[in-house]
Amino acid sequence: MSFFSKAIVGLDIGSSTIKIVQLKPEANQWKLVSMGIVEIPKESLDAKNLDSQRSTIVETIKRVFKESGIKTKKVVTSLSGDSVIIRYVKLPFMTEEELRGSIAREAEQYIPLNIDQVVLDFQILGETQEDGQRKLDVLLVAAKVDVVDQHLLMLKLAGLSPMVIDIDAFALQNAYEINRVEPSEETIALINMGASLTTINIIEGNNTRFTRDIPVAGNDFTKEIQKEFNLKFSEAEELKKSHGAISMEEDDFSLSTVSHKDDRVLRMSDVMTPVLNKLLGEIRRSFDYYETQARKKTVERVILLGGSARLKNVNRFLANKLGIPVEHFGAFRNVEASKNIDPERMAENEFHMGVCLGLALRQVES
């Protein structure tokens, strides 16, 4: 027997950063054993063929393993974006076994792709009565076969063994649940703003009711800054991280936070605000959709995370416009760290770590 045989790590291969988390269960809490985060060199992804893009990612995966000192090769990873389709559907009542046998036929009408070109999975969430008939509430997940194959090939080239392939939105929910102070029936929206995607997950009590990946996120802010100042992507990225902020009408932004010599902050805010408004429009549409489906329930609170949640005032902007509280969510709020982990590094990166923490939590279920 080995103490390490059960060690599984969460590996979140984002479009801009690769994150790794290893947890250990302790008395009544989770302990963070190791973590790492490494940026993917963006310039080596641009204008390259698929093979060399893949090797850039494989190299970055190797770096994040090295940085964190993690030795196990068993990983839980995830997919996101438009390669994954998630649907909440009602199907005729049947046993789980029967459904497994007929899932392709049942799923066909809900999945806008050729059913032979997707990997299908499902989870029975419960049962309901509709027009006097027993129905099953089912969560359907379909991922494109070629995307899954590419993902597996990449993990293989990195020398890893995939145990589970999860979905970003579900991983976020798991991360949120272990950090929640007490169970509640309220409806919240987790909003994870990454680099290329913003994932929304609307949760009622303990159940996800709606998820969507919106293709508006940090890269769109950076591209606007790049155009405005005529910079390289990496330079615009640095400027955004060091001086970026969204200006708020009620702050006298031009006087209080910005030095008169440096109008870059205001110019950045001016070019980033339309991007944020576009994202806001998509968030509202998602909330409206949920609210019309969900028997008069409304989203009561937003929990904001992802690397782009670090942009100054994004939370205030969304709270103002949506008219509900928007709270930042640090993934490690309720996680104790072992001594070898630098608390500053942990705090600095915890917004990025929601998905990865959720992936690492899968070890108990496998």
Strands of the chain, DSSP E: 9-13, 17-26, 29-39, 74-79, 84-92, 118-130, 133-144, 161-167, 187-193, 198-204, 207-214, 301-305, 326-328, 335-337
Least separation in angstroms between CB 172 and ligand ATP: 11
With beta carbons less than 8 A apart as the criterion, state whether 27 and 54 touch. Answer: no
Rounded least distance, CB 359 to Mg ion, Å:
11
Can residue 36 be called a binding residue for ligand ATP (CB under 6 A)?
Answer: no
Write the interaction track for Mg ion spanning residues 191-220; mark x where CB under 5 A is met and - where it is not: ---x--------------------------
> Judged by CB, which is closer to ligand ATP: 194, or 358?
194
CA 25 to chain centre: 23
User: Does 14 contact Mg ion by CB under 5 A?
Assistant: yes
Supply the minimum distance, in Å, between the C-beta of residue 227 and ligand ATP.
Answer: 16
- Binds ligand ATP (CB under 6 A): choice among 14, 23, 167, 363: 14
Q: Which residues pair with 17 in a beta bridge?
A: 39
10 binds, among ligand ATP, Mg ion, none (CB under 5 to 8 A by kind): none
- Verify binding: residue 307, Mg ion, rule CB under 5 A: no
Phi and psi dihedrals of 127, rounded to 5?
A: -135, 155
Q: How far is the CB of 310 from ligand ATP (least distance, A)?
A: 4
By CB under 6 A, residue 218 contacts ligand ATP: yes
Burial class (CB in 10 A: 0-12, 13-18, 19+), 240: buried
Rule CB under 6 A: say whether 190 interacts with ligand ATP: no
Shortest distance, position 48 Cβ to ligand ATP, whole Å: 18
**Interatomic CA distance for residues 2 and 270, integer angstroms:** 56
State the DSSP H helix or E strand holding residue 346, giving kind and residue range, or none if neither: helix 343-349
Q: Which of 8, 11, 16, 313 binds ligand ATP (CB under 6 A)?
A: 16
Parallel/antiparallel/unpaired status of strands 74-79 and 161-167: parallel
CB of 347 to ligand ATP, least distance (A): 13
Helix (H, G, I), strand (E, B), or coil: what is residue 42? helix
Q: Does 151 bind ligand ATP (CB under 6 A)?
A: no
- Rounded to whole angstroms, the Cα distance separating 141 from 169 reads 12
Size of the site for ligand ATP (CB under 6 A): 22
Q: Tell me the helices (H) and strands (E) count for the chain, helix number first.
A: 11, 14
Q: To the nearest whole angstrom, how small is the minimum distance from the Cβ of residue 244 to ligand ATP?
A: 5
Regarding 354 and contact with Mg ion (CB under 5 A), the answer is no
311 near ligand ATP, judged by CB under 6 A: yes
CB under 5 to 8 A by kind: which of Mg ion, ligand ATP, none does 308 bind? ligand ATP
DSSP-derived secondary structure for 113-125:
S-GGGEEEEEEEE
Shortest CB 162 distance to Mg ion, Å: 18
**Residue 5 dihedral angles phi and psi, to the nearest 5°:** -65, -30
**CB under 5 to 8 A by kind: which of ligand ATP, Mg ion, none does 15 bind?**
ligand ATP
Chain center to CA of 244: 22
Residues near Mg ion (CB under 5 A): 14, 194
Residues near ligand ATP (CB under 6 A): 14-17, 194-197, 217-219, 222, 237, 240-241, 244, 306-308, 310-311, 352
